[in-house]
Amino acid sequence: MPKKKRNQPRPSTPPLYAGVILKLFKEVQRPMSRAEVIRQLRLKKRDKHIIKDLLKDLVRQGKLIRIRRGYGLAESMHCITGRLEIQRQGFGFVIPEDSRRKDVFINQRDIGEAWHGDSVVVSVLGEPKKGRNAEGRIVRILERGRKTLPAKVIKKMGDEWLCRPSDPKLAFGIICTLKEESLELKPGDIVICVPGEKMDPTMWQGEITELLGSEVDIAVQEALVKSNHNIRTRFPSGSESQAEGLPCEPSEKDFVGRRDLTEKQFVTIDGATARDFDDAVLVERLDKGYRLWVAIADVAHYVAEGTPLDKEALERGNSYYFPRSVVPMFPERLSNGLCSLNPDVKRLTMVVCMDTDESGRTRSASFCQAVIKSHARLTYTQVKQAILDRDEDARRKIEPVVPMLELAEELARKINKLRSQRGSLDFDLPEPEVFFDAAGEVSEIRPKQRSFANQLIEEFMVAANEAVAHHLIERGLPCLFRIHPHADEGKLQNLFRMLSRTDKSVVMPKEITPKKLQMLVASMRGTDKEYVVNRMLLRSMKQAKYSPENEGHFGLASEEYAHFTSPIRRYADLVVHRLLKTAISLDSDSAVKIPISGQKKLQNIANHISSRERIAMDAEREILKRVTVLFMRDKVGQSFNGVVSHITDFGFYVELKDVMAEGLIRLSSMDDDYYTYWSQREILVGERSGRAFALGQPVEVVLDEVHLERLELNFSLKSVEAAAVDYKDLIE
């Protein structure tokens, strides 16, 4: 019998990490205590503290739920993690981290101590009813969405200050002390405060750390919106240092291996105030068709994956645009300099070259890394005047590029016609544009002027995006797609039902496709129902997002679509550039192979940048509301013409015609009758008089109140009798 070896080393414990524990919970299929986890993994006593820390981390991440005698797998306990979005009415929705899941409705009573923007764990309560979101209750706050809060100073209370968060979705007060006694405050100032402990259901403690300034200052309003949405306004030292270390201009060694297209007559066409130019276009005539060149700034050449600049760009996800400022995704040295396709300087680009037939349909596409030189920096207004209006003075100023631009317009109109034929949706809804006077005050808010000059660039960008997506699919390579889910079927059916009641030519189709919707929009153009159709269609649309899975783009009626054309301001485009570089290197059998991101990694990136895009949209909407409310403050008592833009059971919203602003007429302010909301017909009807209000109906209103804190404009009808119509006229 062999003797036992003395001092034989014990078998080592397998490496412990969160994935091992999650896998164990999935295999066991029931909740477990910490002792059971240790026993199941056959661990020694010395590993207990490691398990304790790992379990804590998994609870903090929302993967496990702490229960009375141990831990349970969140997904098995019908719990999901996501970001809470509270609505003005008090209820909220949790937007799941897993973008494949639907939003979860949260009743006001089930929100608990969570705030708008918090990362939370929500327990799903039963199965969702048909056509409705699942309902849930918040069981844990994983992380506060905001570590600091912008707040309005209300009044001084002894040595403390009473403040109220500037976000109307946070309905509580804060009793604040000053971090620095030197801060001089007065009621109406906007400050940054760090919230502390909760004092009661409506009050928290806090500390004021910074004074932003007066609430009527547009710059202050922009600063508080950026703070509200956690938009980073400073670049970390690492990314700044990396940017500063880049050259001012590309060097000769950067041109090696690139196609020289500097003699090609590329031009950039952007808005008059644009400072970064990431796309340039060129159109040439072929014997039987056209050649469209789209050159995009090669940001990926300067920003390698995993570097400080790349990490910061991923964190931001995109650039953020405000009326008086821009928060860029990259420092200005790149966005306005090295990667901007400024005129008469050489720039590195990724180029898509598309050959089309006479109708504008792409027959083939090729891709290359190139160096170009923009031959002109043009504005949409210049192109409109010179090419569309054929203004002689405007044509003389840009004479060398006029023939190319005329060819570009010709091709763009043909591409637009093809896109229209396949069912791509174009909503004719005005976008507001804010104008300022010399003193920095808002002077006007009016619809943004658009012409086919804008459309020309959009058509070429869509064509390039589709070509890149198609190429990556064809090569069997991964891609980060821009997907747009099918519109809400119930809302679309409601629209067709409503229209068919008053217009016998409108028939509910068996299948509601983008083409059918486009035909509906076209049939209503120029009629009194055009506004209603555009509005209701827009509300039926779901939000576009990013995904490594190709699900097509409903709004564009496109089967293959990716964002490729704006890598300076969208991280998704930078990812697609890297993937296209991989495809180009494989096609050329180059020894240098660029790593292809894995599917799980792409999914994580897609989820993150989709959420950041949503934040950017929310921030841009909020600042527009704030600027509008400030602009309307001195107009109380004035009359305005508008149209009914939205109807609810408590009143209706009116969109003004002369000013791009929207406000509410509450039913409680209408004393001529009791009104009932007919949701199936989207109208309000007076029970006694039969007077009615419907979407798109013109009305004259008086501005009664302006609330900056609640971001509200309240109107009243100048004359109910003059504004209302007989409900029979709406249903016959």
The residue that leads in pLDDT, 102 or 707, is 707
Q: Are residues 311 and 459 in the same domain?
A: yes
Q: Are residues 479 and 534 in the same domain?
A: no
> Phi first, then psi: what are they for 412, rounded to 5°?
-60, -40
Integer angstrom CA distances of residue 166 from 87, 206, 623, 680: 15, 14, 12, 36
pLDDT at position 527, please? 83
63: in domain: yes
Q: And the tokens for 722?
A: 């003059």
8: in domain: no
Q: Are residues 293 and 437 in the same domain?
A: yes
Q: Are residues 351 and 422 in the same domain?
A: yes
Q: Any residues with CB less than 8 A from the CB of 310 and at least 6 apart, and which?
A: 303, 304, 574
Task: Calculate mean pLDDT across residues 664-691.
Answer: 89
Integer angstrom CA distances of residue 479 from 79, 278, 309, 470, 600: 31, 21, 22, 10, 12
221: in domain: no
Q: DSSP characters for 683-726?
A: EEEETTT-EEEETT-EEEEEEEEEETTTTEEEEEES-HHHH-EE
pTM for the predicted model, two decimal places: 0.86
pLDDT at position 660, please? 87
What is the percentage of the chain residues whose pLDDT exceeds 90? 58
Task: Calculate mean pLDDT across residues 149-173.
Answer: 93
- Band (131; pLDDT cuts 50, 70, 90): low
Q: Are residues 556 and 463 in the same domain?
A: yes
Which of 57, 74, 91 corresponds to the end of one domain?
74
For residue 574, pLDDT beyond 50: yes
Domains in the chain, number = 6
pLDDT at position 674, please? 92
pLDDT at position 13, please? 42
Task: Calculate mean pLDDT across residues 54-76.
Answer: 77
DSSP 313: H
- Distance from C-alpha of 158 to C-alpha of 181, rounded to nearest angstrom: 13
Of 46-50, 148-152, 358-362, 465-469, which gets the smallest average pLDDT? 46-50
Could you tell me which of 429, 421, 424, 422 has the C-alpha nearest to residue 458? Answer: 424
Q: And the tokens for 64?
A: 């496990």
pLDDT at position 93, please? 92
663: in domain: yes
Average pLDDT taken over every residue of the chain? 89
Could you tell me which of 436, 431, 429 has the C-alpha nearest to residue 221? Answer: 436
Could you tell me which of 701, 704, 706 has the C-alpha nearest to residue 626? Answer: 706
- Burial pattern 263-283, b for ≥16 Cβ within 10 A else e, equals ebbbbbbbeeeeebbbbbbbb
Q: Are residues 104 and 163 in the same domain?
A: no
Of 22-31, 67-76, 646-655, which gets the smallest average pLDDT? 67-76
pLDDT at position 65, please? 76
Q: Are residues 567 and 466 in the same domain?
A: yes
CATH number at residue 64: 1.10.10
Which of 623, 655, 690 corresponds to the end of one domain?
623
- Distance from C-alpha of 370 to C-alpha of 261, rounded to nearest angstrom: 7
Provide the 10 A C-beta neighbour count for residue 657: 12
Q: Any residues with CB less than 8 A from the CB of 450 and at least 6 apart, and which?
A: 380
- Distance from C-alpha of 383 to C-alpha of 386, rounded to nearest angstrom: 5
Of 62-76, 218-232, 648-662, which gets the smallest average pLDDT? 62-76
Integer angstrom CA distances of residue 423 from 417, 495, 518, 554: 10, 18, 6, 9
394: in domain: yes
pLDDT at position 10, please? 40
184: in domain: yes
Q: Are residues 337 and 410 in the same domain?
A: yes
- Distance from C-alpha of 118 to C-alpha of 361, rounded to nearest angstrom: 47
pLDDT at position 56, please? 80
- Distance from C-alpha of 298 to C-alpha of 517, rounded to nearest angstrom: 37
CATH number at residue 698: 2.40.50.140
Q: And the tokens for 82?
A: 């996501």
Q: And the tokens for 44?
A: 């020694």
Q: Are residues 584 and 439 in the same domain?
A: yes
pLDDT at position 448, please? 86
Task: Calculate mean pLDDT across residues 13-37.
Answer: 76
Half-sphere exposure of 539 (CA within 13 A, CB side): 16
Which of 567, 591, 623 corresponds to the end of one domain?
623
Q: Are residues 582 and 716 in the same domain?
A: no
Predicted confidence (pLDDT) per residue in 402-424, tens digit: 999 999 999 999 999 999 999 99
DSSP 255: H
Q: Are residues 606 and 640 in the same domain?
A: no
Integer angstrom CA distances of residue 635 from 92, 438, 713: 33, 21, 11
Task: Calculate mean pLDDT across residues 51-64.
Answer: 79
For residue 687, give its domain range. 636-731
230: in domain: no
Task: Calculate mean pLDDT across residues 128-155.
Answer: 85
